[in-house]
Structure 1
Amino acid sequence: MRVLFRIRSQKASKATQVFIYCRIKVDGIHANDFSTFIKINREQWDSKSQRVIGKSMDVANHNLRLEQIRNDINRLFLQHQAVDQELTAQHLANIYTGKAKISYTLSELVDLFEQHIKASYDNKGTRRNYGTRIGNIRSFISEKKLTNLPAERINLGLADDFVRWMKAKQRDHNYIVRHTQILKNITEDAVRREILKIDPLASFKLKKRQKTNTSHLTLAQLAELESIRFRPVMQEYVDLFLFSCYTGLHYKDAQTLTEQEIRPGPDGRLWMYKPRGKYAESKFFNEEMIQIVPLHKKALAIIEKYGGVSKLPKRSNAKFNSQLKQIVFENEISFPLTVMIARKTFTDIMLNELNVTENTVAAMLGHCSTRHVHHYGKADQRRVANEMKQKNIDW
C-alpha cells in the first residue's frame, strides 16, 4: 500500500494557486484522488520528496498535515490487516474520507435494513408487518442494552437470547419464528453491503410448528346461510362473505375489484382476472400473482344485486369480522364466519367437491405455487372418492 500526493489546479492549468490531492494505491490499483484541502503556489511543490518547499510557518504546517494524513491512512490499513480483512484502495479512501464506516453497531444494521425495506416494498401491509417485527427487535436491543454492540460481535448467542426474550413475553412460537427470520435478514443484508464478511446467523434455525387451520363451511352450511333473512345492513356483510366464498377473494381484493377485472374468459363466460393487492404494488411480483376464476352464477347475482362491481359494499377488515361475529350471535348460527373462512370455503369446494387440481386452485387463489394452498384447504375423503370414481378404480 502506498500514499502519494500530487498537485492539481483548481481551474486553468496555468493557475498560480493549486491544491494538493492524495492518491492511495493497493496492489498497484489506485483509488480516486481526494483533496487534502491544502492550497499552495505551484512552484512550492516538490513531487520527488512529496513535500512543500519553503521555510515559513505555513509550509511547516502543510508538511505536518501531509505526514499526519499518511500516518492515519497507514494505521487504517494495518488495522484491517490485523483482522484479516481484504481492503481495496477505494474502500480505504472511502473510510478515510468518511464515505464508508470502519465498523457498524447492531442498531445501525437494523436501521440500514429498515431503509432497504422502505426502498423495496410499496405495499402498506408488507411495510407494516416488517415495521412491527423490526420494532420488536429494537425493543429487545434496547432492553438488553445492545445498541452499541459492534456488528462483528453478533453471534448465535444473540439469536438464542432474542428467542428467550420473546418467550418471556409469552409470544407464540410461530410469531417468534417470523421475528428470527427478520433478524437473519438483517445480518444477510449486512453481508450484501460488505459490512460483515460472513453471516454470523447463517446456521441459526428455528422451525415453525405446523398448525394449519383449514376451517370452512360445508355446502349445507353455505345453503343455510343463504336461506336466512338478515337486516338490510347485516345482509350487506353476508353478501360480501358469500361473494368471497364463490370467488376466493381475500377481503382487501374484494374491496378493490373493478369492472375492468371482470371480462369474458376462454369459454365465453365472465371470468375474474384480479391482481393480488398484496403483490400488485410490489416491485418483485409484477404480473405474477393474479387470481383467475370463472365466476359462479351466485357471484354474478351478487354483482347484479348491487348494480355493478364498483357498487359492492366497502368495509374495513376489522369491521367486517366484528359484524360477522355479531351476525352469528344475533341469528344463533352454529358455525363461525370470518373473512378467511370465506376464502377457505372456496378452496374446499374446489379441492373436494369439484375435484379441481391443486395447481389450478393455486391459480384461482392468486398463488404461483401450490405451497400455500395447504394453508386454505386440504384433500379429504370426498376428493379420494371423486378420483376413484372418475378413474373407475375398483378397489
Structure 2
Amino acid sequence: MKTTNTFGVHFLIRQDKLKEGKAPVYARITVNTDRILIGLKQWIDPKSWDIRKGAGKGAKDEVKSLNNYLSEVRTEFGECYRELQLKKKVITAADVKITFLRVEEVEHTLQSLFKFHNEREKHKLNENTLSHYLTTQRYLSEFINARYHKKDLSLKDVNFKFLSDFENFLRDYQPKKNKKPIGNTGAMTHLIRLKKMLNLAISLDWIGKNPFFGYRIKIRHEARQYLNKTELSALEAKTFALPRLDYVRDLFVFCCYTGLAYIDAINLTRSNIVVGIDNGLWIKTKRNKTLIPVNTPLLPKAVAILKKYETDYRAINNGTLFPLLSNQKMNSYLKEIADLCVIDKNLTSHIARHTFATTVTLSNNVPIETVSKMLGHTKIGTTQIYAKVIEQKVSDDMAVLRNKLG
C-alpha cells in the first residue's frame, strides 16, 4: 500500500525579530499537516519582501542574491525529502530539517549559554556588571553540582521545578567566612539574570519556551536608607580635624547634591562640567554601571565643593576633579564620620545617591520624571521606590490639604 504525503516549502520573514531594520528569513517546511521553521541566517528589509510569493522583491543586487539562495535552498529541501522517501519511513517535517542540516542538533547547556552571553557582551557591559553575571553562573554551577552531581545541565532539563529548587538553594545558601547571606533581593536578582539568559536562548532558537513562563519572581523592595534634612545639615556643618575625613565628607555631600554614584563622581574630569541651556554649570557624563547619559544642573553647594578642590595637586596630577580614593576606604571613613556626627545609620557612599533622590529633590517638589532623568534610571518605577519612603513629604502634602479643607 502506497502512502501519499504532501510536501511544501514556503519562505517567510519574522518582523517580530527585527534587528537594525531588517527581518530574519525562515523556511517553513510542511509535511502533511506537520510544520517546522528553519532559520536561514539571511536578513532583508521588510519593505523588500513579497509575502504572497515568499521571496524578495525589487532589482537590488542583495535581493537578487537572496532569491537565488532561496531557490537553491528550495531545491535542496526537495532532495532531502526524496532522500527520506527512499528510506520508506514515516516522514515528519523535523526529519527534513535534520537531513537538511546534516547533523544532529547540538545539545546546548546552561554553561554554554552563559559563555556565549559573556563573550558577546564583554565589550558592551562594564567590568562590574559582567562580574555579576559570572557570580550568577558560579551559583548555578554550585547548585547543579549539589543537586544533580554534574558540572553542567542541558537547557532541556531547565524547567519550573529547576527554577523553584534553585531559588530555595539561593535562599538557604550559607556563605563562607564573614560574608552576608544572599537574602531575598539577591536571590531574585540571580533569577532575573537567569531569566534574561533563557530569553537569549529563545532568541537563538536553542529552546522553544522559557521555563519562567508562569514563574513569579517575588521582589520585596526594602526601604532605601538616606539622610534626612537634619542629618545632612549636621554632616555639612561638622568640622573635622583629620583631612581624610574632611575630604570624604565633601565627596559624600557632593554626591548628595548631584545624585552621582561614587564611581561616577570620582571619575569626573573638567570635560564633564559644561555650560547648560540655562547658562549655568551642568554635569554631563554617563553612568559607569549602565552607560546611560546623565545631565544634571549643579546646585550651589556642589559648585562650592568643586571650587574647593580645583587646585588640589592630587586631583590635578590625576586629571580628575577629585583626588583618587577607593570606595572601600570611603565607606570605612564614612563609618567614622557617622559616629562623629551622631548619625545612627550604616553610612555608605551609595546613601548619598539615595539622599539626592529623597531629601534634596523629591522632598522639595522636583517632579519624579526629572529626578529619574538626573539619576540615569531607565525605568521610572526604579525612582518610585524612593518616593514611597518620604514620610516628611507625605506629612507636608497632607498639611496643605488640611488647610485647604479646613
Q: What is the TM-score when the length of structure 1 is the normalising length?
A: 0.69
Q: Structure 1 residues 254, 295: CA separation in 2 closer, same or farther (over 3 Å shift)? A: same
Which of 155, 167, 171 is residue 171 of structure 2 equivalent to?
167
Partner of 2:219: 208
CA distance in 1, matches of 2:87, 2:267: 61
Percent same amino acid among aligned pairs?
27
Quick check: 1:118 aligned with 2:125? no
Q: Structure 1 residues 148, 383: CA separation in 2 closer, same or farther (over 3 Å shift)? A: closer
Partner of 2:290: 279
Q: String of CA shifts for 1:24-68, please: whole Å, max 9, x gaps.
A: xx779754999xxxxxxxxxxxxxxx9xxxxxxxxxxxxxxxxxx
Provide the alpha-carbon RMSD of the alignment: 3.5
Per the TM alignment, residue 244 of structure 1 is displaced from its structure 2 partner at its CA by: 0.6
Secondary structure of 2:209 counterpart:
coil
Per the TM alignment, residue 266 of structure 1 is displaced from its structure 2 partner at its CA by: 2.6
Q: Structure 1 residues 173, 92: CA separation in 2 closer, same or farther (over 3 Å shift)? A: farther
Residue correspondence of structure 1 range 61-140 to structure 2 within 5 A:
81=92, 86=94, 89=97, 92-96=99-103, 101-118=105-122, 121-140=124-143
Letter in 2 for 1:193: L
Q: Structure 1 residues 194, 374: CA separation in 2 closer, same or farther (over 3 Å shift)? A: same
Which of 218, 222, 227 is residue 232 of structure 2 equivalent to?
222
Partner of 1:6: none
Q: String of CA shifts for 1:265-313, please: whole Å, max 9, x gaps.
A: 2322212222222222xxxxxxxx3333221222111111111682412
Q: Structure 1 residues 151, 219: CA separation in 2 closer, same or farther (over 3 Å shift)? A: closer
| Contact residue 155 and residue 207 of structure 2 kept, 8 A | yes
The range that moved more, 354-363 or 145-154, is: 145-154
The range that moved more, 341-350 or 296-305, is: 341-350
Q: Unaligned regions of 5+ residues in structure 1, if any? A: 2-25, 35-49, 51-69, 281-288
Letter in 2 for 1:155: N
Q: What is the TM-score when the length of structure 2 is the normalising length?
A: 0.67
Residue correspondence of structure 1 range 1-395 to structure 2 within 5 A:
31=73, 81=92, 86=94, 89=97, 92-96=99-103, 101-118=105-122, 121-143=124-146, 144-147=148-151, 149-170=153-174, 171-213=182-224, 215-230=225-240, 231-280=242-291, 289-307=292-310, 310-329=320-339, 331=340, 333-336=342-345, 337-377=347-387, 378-382=389-393, 385=396, 389=400, 393-395=404-406
| Contact residue 237 and residue 324 of structure 1 kept, 8 A | yes
CA distance in 2, matches of 1:193, 1:74: 32
Secondary structure of 1:278 counterpart:
coil
Partner of 1:5: none
CA distance in 2, matches of 1:135, 1:211: 26
Structure with more relative contact order (C-alpha pairs < 8 Å, separation 6 or more): 1
Q: Unaligned regions of 5+ residues in structure 2, if any? A: 6-28, 31-69, 175-181
Q: Structure 1 residues 368, 324: CA separation in 2 closer, same or farther (over 3 Å shift)? A: same
Q: Structure 1 residues 386, 257: CA separation in 2 closer, same or farther (over 3 Å shift)? A: farther
Q: Structure 1 residues 264, 147: CA separation in 2 closer, same or farther (over 3 Å shift)? A: same
| Contact residue 144 and residue 153 of structure 2 kept, 8 A | no
